[in-house]
Amino acid sequence: MAEMDLTRFEVLVAAYGATPNRWPEEERAAAEAFARADPRAAALLAEADSIDALLFAHRVAEPSRTLRAMVIEAAPRKRRLTGRARLWWTGIGIALAGASGMLAGSAATAALEPISANVLMYSHDDVPALDYSAEENAL
């Protein structure tokens, strides 16, 4: 717990007022203990409390609806395509899809070729070699 004496307690209350929640966290426990233990603390707290009450008497108006609406109006939003723009993008999308389909097809063929070759090789290995000699002899 941080150290607390009358001098520091006076500074604390003069700056942050009488409410412990507003006192610096690292000194709060020590200051609360001091306030309970030292009879001089009460007068300091009462003085600070009267200034707190004045401060919190101050109210400001809520933001106007107009301000709120203007602020929200300026907020970023997801683009929504309409009318001609949508047609344009649809056309471009179809063209791109076609092109990418062709590209994908070529790429797939290229990628599959060696695999197919391997499969064929393995299939040959798996199947016992045909012996044509018996057929030739029969003829």
Partner 1 sequence: MISDDPDGELVRRVGEGDVQAAEALVARKLPRMTALAHRLLGDRTEAEDVVQELFLRVWKSAAAWRPGAAKFDTWMHRVAFNLCTDRLRRRREVALPETWDAPDPQPLADAAISAEQQSDAVGRALAELAPRQREAIVLTYYQELPNREVAALMGIGVDALESLLARGRRALKARLEETDG
Q: Which residues bind partner 1 (CB under 8 A)?
A: 11-12, 14-17, 22, 24-25, 48, 50-51, 54-64, 67-68, 70-72, 74-79
CB of 13 to partner 1, least distance (A): 9
CB of 82 to partner 1, least distance (A): 16
Per-residue b or e along 19-45, where b marks 16 or more CB atoms closer than 10 Å to that residue's CB? eeeebeeebbebbeebbeeeeebeebb
Give the nearer residue to partner 1 in terms of CB position, either 53 or 108: 53
Q: Given the complex with partner 1, which of 2 and 70 has the nearer CB atom?
A: 70
Neighbours of 17 (CB within 10 A): 19
**Cβ closest to partner 1, residue 89 vs residue 122:** 89
Whose Cβ is closer to partner 1: residue 51's or residue 117's? 51
